[in-house]
Chain A
């Protein structure tokens, strides 16, 4: 059985280009969505008059 290597390689290149383009666009928008959902930083919270506490202060009863 004789393989048509040119056709196989062309198909591999074609599929890889299409898949890479789709993944690249999708990952960029996924990054944008993640950035929009990220928790606020301590500096941003401070501007809103809130505090970002890393430790819960001890409150004696």
Chain B
């Protein structure tokens, strides 16, 4: 996402033509940069508050609110795709582990991209000969 944004950054402020492309890029910017940082901050904030003030009911309710949102979005997607409703159960693990791991990886990858470390896809080099 970051590489695509860097390559197409001139489209972020494009005023002519379709609005879909700039909108997609702004969404990618939010999804790739802002959202992972916000999610990690929210989790660290949870830990900090729990350490300072103990495990309060409000903390649990706040976490449950996010989890209920995840489950509802998952159910919506499952119904739209006519998939097995039991799959919605995995959205609890999504909130518990998956999204935090992905967001930490995203933040590290962003830092590497900002520092300018060489990144590649690990593809096999094609020579075009037998």
Contacts and interface: CB of A to CB of B under 8 A. Distances in A.
Nearest to A27: B101
A21 B46 contact: no
B45 to A, nearest CB: 10
B125 A43 contact: yes
Contacts of B2: none
A13 to B, nearest CB: 5
Interface stretch (B7-15, B56-64, B69-77): B56-64
Main secondary structure of the interface of A (DSSP, over half): helix
Main secondary structure of the interface of B (DSSP, over half): helix
Looking at chain A, what size class is its interface with the partner chain? 10 to 19
Interface in B43-97: 43-44, 46-47, 50, 55-57, 59-60, 63, 96-97
A13 B125 contact: no
Interface of A: 6-7, 9-11, 13-14, 16-18, 20-21, 23-25, 27-28, 41, 43
15 contacts: A7-B55, A10-B50, A13-B59, A14-B47, A14-B50, A14-B55, A16-B96, A16-B97, A17-B47, A17-B100, A20-B97, A23-B101, A24-B101, A41-B125, A43-B125
